[in-house]
Structure formats: structure tokens, C-alpha cells
Chain A
Amino acid sequence: MEPTLQVESLRTYFYTEAGVVKAVDDVSFSVRPSTIHALVGESGSGKTVTAQSILRIVPKPGRIVGGRIVFEGRNLLDLDERQMRMVRGRRISLIQQDPTATLDPMFTIQDQLVEAIMVTTELDREQAKKKARKLLEDVKIPGPENVLKSYPHQLSGGMRQRVAIARALAGNPKVLIADEPTTALDVTIQAQILELMRSLRDEYGLSIILITHDLGIVAQVADEVTVMYAGKVCESGSVDDIFHSPLHPYTQALLLSVPRVDKRIKLRAIPGNIPDLVQPPQGCRFHPRCPYAVERCSQEEPGLEKVGSQADHTLPSRSVYCHRFREIKLEVV
């Protein structure tokens, strides 16, 4: 099975007054069809910038300086702006954390959906109206007629996010990028939205790149995971692999430090702080906080190590960036 989207050695740097911020530095991962692929990381990990790079909407002073993003047989980084516009919203869509900011308070839901549909498809206004209604049904909004006539401020947070998702689906995209879609929502509403994403994956074969910092969400909803730290990838693999047999010390450290609702655990804090991206640590960016670090880790950046059989494309690719992953035995909760 060919991956739907493949990111290869992506580099996106920000040229600021304080220096060059290597926000995304040699990031690679692939997203398979009908899969929810989570990009997990804390602040500064580069996950949002990665999403922006895929859609090529990186704000100044940022610039994509290297790598390839392969989608539908083309390298997205080679396309000109006009071609990119055909991709955005139509083949790859984006929803963000705060639906209030992405929905225009001046227009009804119907107006906004119809506009999105007409911009991304060949439908005329009447057809678009019908499709708008169908989209609202697809995202399981009860009472779609009323919602169509409403304005964003009349809807609750959860509803607005569903509308945002509906709008993102207007152009029948193959990939949906969701950047922290539930962070601003209550936990009971969050569960509904995550459930919705799962059904979208199943019913439409949609690939979803889910960007989050919440390990719980990843465990519940993701199929595959890429763990990022300070602009680099730590490891990639299926959700079971990552949670039950992690290969990278950062992943382990995170899993041991995160409180859980199902049992009380002794929280093992990770010492230190997230590094400054203008002057990141030499060698492996995690080494100052890593309990297994040796001299090599402070001098040489770890490269990509693929694990397991690569011939079988029905399995997700398992990879890790760590010098010592073969030697160290990681414990799990």
C-alpha cells in the first residue's frame, strides 16, 4: 500500500533577529490511507510548523529550506502557488484549535459552507446548498437545518468545531490535518469529536494527521504515531509499538511522567527544560535530559534507523532516531 503522503527530510527554518530557528530539522514520516496518524510533541517540537509546511503556509520569517513532500505522485515543494491552491482545501484540508477564529462571525453557517464548496468543487449554488446539508449530516450535527441558518456565535464550541470539519471536507480531500482540534473543548465534547474523526476515517477512507500534545488522545484514537522533540523526529510506528515497546528514551520518559486516570502512578519527572531552538544542544537534541546519554550523543546527531521488515507495506514503518536504541532496555508503565 503506497502511503498517501510522505514527508522526507523536511527542513523549515525561521530567520529571526535572534538567529536561525531550526523549527523543523530533517523530519520524515509517512501517512497511509485510511489512517489517523498522530504527530505528538510538546511546544517547540515543530509539529505545527510541519503541518504548515505541508500546506506551504509557513509564516514569515519561516522558509522551507529542504526535503520533499510527496503527495499524489508529486513533490508538493515543487509546485507553484497556483498549483498549491488546487491542493489546499481540495486535496489536503486543515482544521485548527480554535474554531471561533476560523469561522467568520458575519456570515451564516450555510453561507460559509456554500462558499467553501463552490470554491473547491465545480458545483453551482443550488447543488452546493444540498451538499452543505449533507456535510453537516456527515459530521453528525443534529438538526442541520437550524444550524445552517445560524451564526457561529450561536453555536457551542463543539458544534463550531464540527462545522469547521464539515467545511474542511467540502472539497473531498484525501488528507485532513487537524492541529490540536480538541484542546479548547471540554472533555465530554472532545470524546465526541474524536469519535467523529474515527468514523470519517472509516467511512471515507480519509487520512488524518492529528497534531496533539495529549498522549491520551493519541492512545485512544490514533493508528500510527510520530513522536517529535525540538524539531526532530524521535520515533515513528504503530500506536501499540509506541506505547508498549517504545524505542526512544524521550517517549519512555513522557509515558512515565504523564498522570493517568485509571491508576495512580509514581510520576517520574523529566529533568531540565525544552531547549532553545536558536542554540539547540549539540548532537542529539534530547541528550541533556536523557538518562541514557553517552559521549557520542552530545557530539553526533542520530540518524534514521528503520526497524523491522520494510518489504511488507501492510505494516506501518517503524523507525527511530537514537544511537543507543539497540542497547538500552526501556521500561513501560
Chain B
Amino acid sequence: MPQDILELKDVKKYYPLTERYTFRSRVTAYVKAVDGVSLTLPEQSTVGLVGESGCGKTTTAKIAAGLIRPDSGSVKFMGADLSEILGDSGSAKQFRRSVQLVYQNPYSSLDPMMTVGDIVKEPLIIHGLARGRELEEAMYSLLRKVNLEDYHALRYPHELSGGQRQRVCIARALATQPKLVLLDEPVSSLDLSIRAQILNLLVELKERERLSYLYISHDLATVRQMCDYVAVMYLGRVVEYAPTDELFNNPMHPYTQALLSAIPIPDPRVKRKRIVLEGDVPNPVNPPEGCRFHTRCRYASQLCRERDQKLIEVGNQHWVACWVAPTGGIPSYTLEYTRE
């Protein structure tokens, strides 16, 4: 059975808001950025983490990457506990080689004072993976893997286009031959005509280099293209998790349905039932009692107002955190085409 590369169990991260007085400070509230997230990432698969701003997806990803320490819950990388891995400098360095990140903004994630060549060589140097002639060769080979030319090695980030910069970020991420790559909105800041290039490159690399991806985005359309499984997040929790096609064809959680109904589709023919969510996304500082979504949910019952729900399995690898959905109380939602 393929091993799960990543396993998060009930991970929490709260950021305290403090009022500072002269000689003491008082914690008044917590921003519950991540409030009990459980997730698994099977090897060599792509799991998408979607949600709107403030849902905690980026924080979750950074916790998975070991950049933020969770307040509670466990993170396991290839079966080993992450806090133990990071505690020992030897295994920590090994971990840094195995897990890499690609950020949303390809410009600010590159040191403007370094050439592309230096940037790509950096991880190899840090981990002592190559030197001298070998180092140069390795660097050029990485550039070629992302369809950049050799002469790009002498350029500086500000001389490259957005798509090219993102390729540099990807090349850098591949340098240490990682097992898991966390992609945080990798194409959101790129032009439309470039996005497909990068997305196709990512798919190709996943095959060739045998990678697993955690794909974070608010753009459900790209998630549909890229991911094998999708986890929908809302206010620090995963509210629905299913294989991609299952999620999009049979969304069960009311939030997922609302999301799908809201996302514009580049085809005027597609008519959908529009589910309009009232109000704004509530504040992660004081999330509602009971199920977090109940304040905007048209199917909310008394139970929903009182008690929070954890993810329960309702079908073929399909999990929902909802009281009403498993009982069939929520009508199904599909996208219909009307042809004129």
C-alpha cells in the first residue's frame, strides 16, 4: 500500500491578540488560523487545499513545511513525527531537502541581488550536494528541466518575465530532489497566457520526478485540473474532502456548493443554480459557536448552531463536516449546460 507522505491530525495554530500595558500584557482573544485540520497526502498524488482568504490554507501549508510550529496536533512526514525530525539537526536538514515550497509571488521569493544561476545553485551548496564542475552541470540541468535556456543563468530576477521567474522558483525547489512540493498559488500572479505553461510543466515534472504536491489555491478551476484529491477549508477547518471528480460532481457541503456556484466559468452557455451566500466571511478571531458555517447556511438546524461537526466519511473516500449533509438534507448541486 502506498505510504502517506504527509499526515496532519487535528492541527491547531492560534495567534494570540494581546493588549499591552506598561508592565504586563493580556491576551484578549485568539485568531484561530488553523483550528483542527486533519489531512492525508498519499504518495505521488496531488492534494488541493482550497478556500477563500483567511481560511487558513497557507498557514496549514507552512505548518506542513515545518516553517510554523503548530500549537497542537500532529504532523507526520513519511510516518515520522515532524517535531522530532526538526529537533535533530541531521534529520532536519534531510527534511529540508525532501520538502520544498513554491510561492505565489515569484519575484519576492527570489533574492534580487542573486543571479538565476546562483539562486538555483543555492540549495545544492547549502546541502553540500555538489561542487565545482558538478555544481555547474547540475544547475544547467535544472534550468533545462524547467525549459529555461542556459543563458538565463546569468540573468537577474528582475530581468525575467513572471512566468520565467516562476520557473526559476520551481527549478530551485527541484534542486534537492524533494519528495513533496508545496505549491502556494503558483500561478495566481501570472498572466493568463502563461498559466497553462506553468501548470503543464508542473504536471510533467510530477510524473518525471515522482513528486507529491500539496496545491494551495483559491482558484477552483486550476485545482480541478491539477489535483487528485481536494480539501475545502473554511475558517481554519477542512469542511469537505474527496477525490476531485467526486467533489466537483457531487459537492455535499453547503459551502462547497456555494463556492462552486460563485466561481465564474469561461463559457456563457453554462447556467447554474446560483447559491448566494449572505454576508461576509466571519472573523477568525471569534468564530461562530457550533458549526462555523451555520451563520451563512440556509440548511442550518438547531444542532448546527450548537455543536461543531468533525469530518465523517459519507461515501467513496468522501468526507464532509456537516450535520445535515449525511442525512440527505441538502439537495445535490450540478452544473448544467443549456444549449441554445
Contact = CB atoms under 8 A, between A and B. Distances in A.
B280 A189 contact: yes
B192 A213 contact: yes
A261 B196 contact: no
User: In this complex, which of A213, A217, A274 has the most chain B Cβ atoms within 10 angstroms of its Cβ?
Assistant: A274
A311 B265 CA distance: 33
A194 interface: yes
SS of A interface (majority): helix
Nearest to B340: A240
Nearest to A250: B193
Interface string B24-58: 00000000000000000000000000001100000
A118 interface: no
Contacts of A219: 264-268, 270
A304 interface: no
B163 interface: yes
A243 B194 contact: no
Nearest to B53: A186
A237 B265 CA distance: 19
Contact of B265 (A42, A216, A239, A267): A216
A89 to B, nearest CB: 28
A215 B224 contact: no
Nearest to A240: B268
B68 interface: no
A274 B161 CA distance: 9
B173 interface: no
Contacts of B263: 187, 216, 261
Interface in B181-202: 191-197, 199-200
Interface string B231-259: 00000000000001100100000000011
Contact of B192 (A191, A254, A262, A263): A254
Contact of A42 (B192, B244, B274, B277): B192
B293 to A, nearest CB: 12
A265 interface: yes
A273 interface: yes
A289 B199 CA distance: 18
Given A186-B53, A187-B259, A274-B161, A194 B225 contact: no
B267 A186 contact: no
B269 A216 contact: no
Contacts of B164: 273
B200 A267 contact: yes
A267 B196 contact: yes
Given A217-B264, A240-B268, A159 B280 contact: yes
Contacts of A220: 264-265, 268
Top 9 closest A-B pairs, CB basis? Answer: A216-B264, A215-B266, A269-B196, A257-B196, A191-B262, A186-B52, A42-B191, A267-B196, A269-B197
27 contacts: A42-B192, A156-B281, A186-B52, A187-B218, A188-B262, A188-B277, A194-B264, A195-B276, A214-B264, A215-B192, A216-B264, A219-B268, A220-B265, A243-B266, A257-B192, A258-B195, A259-B221, A260-B224, A260-B265, A260-B266, A262-B267, A264-B224, A264-B225, A264-B244, A267-B199, A271-B197, A273-B161
